[in-house]
Structure 1
Amino acid sequence: MNDTTAPEKSSATRIATPQNGAQAAAFQGGGELGQRISSFDWQTSPLGDPSTWPTALTTLVELMLQSRQPMFLTWGDARTMLYNDAYAPLLGTRHPAALGQPFFDVWHDIVDVVKPIMDRAFAGESTHMDDLMLLIHRHGYPEEAHFAFSYTPVRGGSGTVTGMFCACTETTKDVFARRREVAESERLENMFALAPSFMAILRGPQHIFESTNAAYNRLIGRDDIIGRTVREALPDIAGQGFYEILDEVYETGQPFVNQDAKVTFQATEDSAPTDRYVSFIFQPIKNDEGEVTGLFIDGHDVTERMTSQGALAESETRFREMADNAPNFIWMTEPSGGCTYVNQRWLTFTGQSKSEVRGNGWLDAVHPDDLDSVRLALQQAHVDHETFEFEYRLRQEDGTYAWTLNTAQPRFTTDGTFVGLLGSGLDIDERKGFEERQALMVRELHHRVKNTLATVQAIIGFTLRTSPDMETFRTGVSNRIASLARSHSSLTDAEWQGMDLRAVLRSELEPYDNGKRLILKGPRVFLSSDTVVPLTMAVHELTTNAVKYGALSNEDGQIEVRWSVTIGPDGEHLTLDWREIGGPEVCPPTRTGFGTTLLERLLGGQLNGTATMNYPAEGVEVQIRAQLRDVPSGTKQ
């Protein structure tokens, strides 16, 4: 026993005696502590046999044992301690040895703080405190704890205080939570005040200014607008479209982004109008129910940059004339990624207009299956200020799609400021088709035979090793071969072109879904034929285990599957997270099952990926990472 715990008398040796048995029986209904008090050998205690206890003491003990609030009482000169089940967790490792012991032997580490308060109670003075901080060692180490409590003196028949009763609540978590809230609030306020961008918060449909930072006040040339509506505070921007945009964002809940917008301010009637250029976003603020309650304005004053760029206007005009006559696609973006220019070749090829292309509108011409990958790669190029190179399908004016190769280089000003990408593109559809047709037959034959045989070998070998009898072996092999057959059948129906990931998941999970049990979240991902088979087997095993032991073994459990696709130097990767919710409590397995083996061997070997399985008590969690597509030949850095 360490020096932070009161000496313990073995509760196993405290046997109820015939003398105290009648009174002890009255405590039997008081939970664990009722049993312990009943079986305690009180003859060795200053309190003596319970049959001799004063009425006040027995009444308080019975009341305390029936309460769900943490309570304890101390009695007599020794201040012998009794408590209920709700108080026991507050004692930590000092329970159950604390029962029947002097209070300050139990709480010897807080005597200096608590003794004066308890002495006042034994002197007849009640005490109530909403927050008392104590440094205690109840778990073998010092920890800060907070309590709200009341000490009430208990008087005997002669009016003399013979005991003290305490009802208390530990508030440590609440105190720490409030500290975190205050610290976070102060941190956000400091960030808001010191942010280099201009910021403002508006509330309500009238757009009342709730707060602004110094940068915003400098932009508008005044600092007396808090509590006023935008129309009242900034009448000088009327007619420039900003009121209407604010109204639209509030009504629709959709953010509005603008780059390099011109705005004219006039702080007073006597001051001259000032033209500024700003890049900004109007972001709706929503409550927990999704209702818009206000707007957040964030932006940058880009007047200096716009002024300096004016000198480049003439050279840009010459560049556009040259680009419009080029046979390839030529395009430009701004630092945030939005498209600012495409040449005539792009417009002719896609049938888009210049207004449709601006910002992210050009992405409407990208094939839906390539859209997420293109968006992610382009975004990364803008974040890293790196070269962009990507093959994707582009919609032609007649609605068909053609493969294109687009490359771009980052653009910088003379002082090193990143201003976007300058890119060009080629129509490579004919070359792409030839290459794919040339490789298709050999590649498909190789992979189909190799993957199918590897999967069947794994199924038979591991099922045989883990089956206690031939019937179990036959059933296990049959079910798993059936799952394999289903994936092959689906691929055959799709002419071995592959399958959508969502379809693979639903083929295994939908029979157990009641409309609420299945949560599938992720982008559209088209799986190649050699990816479908191992993933189908993996999902089959996970589903089977969930039905037998996990979230699908009861009526309330859910299966949540989320996935995403990333593009790295070595190609396209799928990350799939499987999570079971609401099933029986999970115990980690004592041996490696078939599902784990299949994940590790087939996924690792066939898809150049990894599989991680965790067993938290709330439900099994599995993460699968698999390579979907390699980097096209000639594009690796």
Structure 2
Amino acid sequence: MVTAPSHPGASEPDARRSFQPAAGLFLDSERAANSGRASRMSTHPSRPVTPVTKAETAGWFRHGPWADSPLGPRESWPQPLITLTDLALGSKTPTLIVWGPELCMVYNHAYSRILGDRHPAALGRPLPDVWSEIWDAIQPLVYRSLAGEALYFENERFLIRRDGVEQEAWFNFSYTPVHDETGAVAGIYCALTETTNEVRAERDRADSFARLQQLFRQAPGFMAVTSGPGHMLELANESCMRLVGRTDLAGKRVSEAIPELADQVYLQLFDQVYATGEAFVGRRMPVHLQPPGERSPMLRYVDFVFQPITDSTGSVTGVFVQGTDVTEHHHLEDQLRHSEVQALDLALESEMHARRLDALLEAAPVGIIYADANGRLEVVNAAIRKMWGNHPDATDVSEYHRWKAWWADGSERDGQPVGPDEWPITRVLRGEEEVSAIIEIEPFGRPGERRTAQVHARPVRTHDGALVGAVVAEMDITDQVRMQARLRESEIRFRTITDVMPQIAWSTRPDGQHDYYNRRWYDYTGMPEGTIGDEPWHELVHPDDRDEALDTWRTSVATGDPYEIKYRLRHRSGEYRWVLGRALPVRNHDGQIVRWMGTCTDIHEQVLAQKLLEDASRRKDEFLAMLAHELRNPLAPISTAASVLAATPDDPKRVRQLGDVIRRQVGHMTRMVDELLDVSRVTRGLARLDCDVVDLATVARSAIEQIGPLIDERKHQLITHLPDGELLVMGDRIRLVQVVSNLLNNAAKYTRSGGRIELELAVDDGCAVIEVSDNGSGIEPELLPQVFELFTQGARGPDRSLGGLGIGLALAKSIVELHGGSIVANSAGRGRGSEFKVLLPLAELERAEPGTGRMPSRRAVDARLSTMVVDDNADAARTIALLLELQGHEVRVHHDATTALADSRAQPAQLYILDIGLPDMSGHELAQRLRQQPGAADAKLIAVTGYGRAEDRTLSEEAGFDLHLVKPVDAGQLLDAVATVGPK
């Protein structure tokens, strides 16, 4: 059980050529490949899967049905195979032995767990059958090993079906060639270990590490990692690089990367943490920085944490530095401190300034609280009252529990209540110099409402340092926090909406560089999730569409015009599929483009359907043009002959010549109309077969008789290979003659004058074979798959000299399939001839119930028949009358049903020839009324009509007609019908 390795190896053909087994133990490469294919084509019945123990597996090896397997009875096995089998049974490692020319499988109990529900049915079966889904991948490895090469692979991935489920699995495995007694390679010994869990665990670790790296890079505070006593910078995130104004930090010592730190305390802090293994935390530490290119140094205030990094033994190997730039906060606190000092100075300076101070506090946008040393609230300004509502007075710290607040600083305590002893003012009154916090408060009188405040507290001392109170500044930052939350929620909603869209959604910056793709993009293209930015998206566009897509996009970016284009985009399967790309610019209130938002919609099926419709429309137009041409061809000589007949009615010879012309052309038109009707009935399943036991030799002779004039005209050489005896099938003789004549007609039309056509009948694998071949124009490769479709023809000139409507082969295929057979076409290409082969089931004579299958022969009638012809087409009625009169019959002609009925009552006829579409009543109604007349009840009724569908024939039969003929009626067919009518 293996899969193809990711590193290169010998190809299958090379391995097969290098493998030369002794004494013919293995088949040659071609026979082995054929054997593999045959094995994969075999089917095996499903069987219930039950757990099989190790002892039961061993029992299978020793007592299994080996006599029925390609390996034969176990007693006949070669000694190496027996030895390997015993070795495998005693091993706890999954072991597989592949042996013999059929690559039969022998394995131990541990391997059966890998097989899942394939065990125990896999014992003794060929490897290609058992692992059919991966055989194409492992086949080269098998032949390399059979050629004598030992193979080993680690953590190879492949897809297998196990217990009815397709799943990924990874394996370590080896292939070892096994030699028989003669020294030739007779099989393969495969030991393997499944590493699926380890591989997946490693992937999870890698994903976790990647996420940590992402968090490290995107952290709002700066972070850096150093190693060794020299403090070599290994990692620094973007915040760190922005702070120091440098990007080339990695791989340098701290003193080299940021030389201005040499005169400050930070290098000593690195040494201290590295030497002691104790963390250092520093608040508001000033850092003097001199970024490259800056003229003056920059002073920043930073909250630092220096954390030692230790290995598994506890030894310090480096330092992790985390910091937050609090410069702005520091300046704000300086301002607050300055305001506090000013307020205290004013309060202490004189009473006269008290009101002025109160006004200042009331007007201040920042909430101010002053409490005495016990915690009594003595001063509370308007901003505090606005934030906290109608709060109670507090006389000391013990009453602070009535003020509800929760931590909101994002730390581990976030969301937990603030205790009375944890308030910043409480801590300052206990002796701390400066305390800041971010809390969420619930104003008094407004239960359920939450406000977020940034709080800063400092002690108030006398000139000698005595604590006399505390000042608290509180800033309402609720709107800022909510705005940030709304922005985060808006982004989440945006990503959620775009991820559930069926289309690919994307956005770019104003310069056209992508900065977002939804999940559909990664699912569709197979690109690694998260890849954005400047990746070459256009490389996924079909090479033929790439330039247009890029030019159109650049034009839209430059002009601001909407982007819309159809192009082919590579799917993750490798297929290029049509998509509709659209994008619109997003503008700000000044009209400037701040973003592009776009989508790609898969329209592959619509594009293909449109092309199919266009192809169908084109073929329809070509067919209509061809039909018009083919109908005009016979109409032209018919029209000319009619004109000549009118001018020379007394020239019998010319009349006969022109009559032959008209008869031939009418016959040609009739065949075209019959073909159209036939193909309509057959392809819609409306045709009925009059099946009987038919000799294909007689079918072939009838077809040759029909097509003979065309073959003689084109001076073709027709070579036939017919069997000496009968070749019997169950079928409709007339339809089968139609199939063979269509194939011969097709060969005759597309073979140059004097060419060769062969017709052969044979028997192959229980089927009758009809094969028609020629050395004519052949069939182009692109046309060959469509040759049996309606109206399909090869290239033709404007004269359409070959004739036909392109439906003969489609009709032949439909008729053959109605008989349960098949038809195929082959050609080596244009100018190299073609070959058509029909396969039909042979007749099962013991179950056949043959009928006569013959039409009644024409019976000569000496007596004159009294005949009435009824047709509203005067020319049609008159020509039929002339034909019957030439045979000596008495004919009366009427052009409506009413007159005919009246004449029939006065003088009944022996034979009525009726059109169906009469002006005053239908031919069906006329026939029924004639049957009700005493003198015409036993007369012969023949329908002559342009309606030739199966249901039309049924209606005629129900109306009382004896025969239904379709216009134009062949003269011989009509005379045959008339000959069956005897005198009364």
Q: TM-score, normalised by structure 1?
A: 0.47
Larger RCO: 1 or 2 (CA < 8 Å, sep 6+) = 1
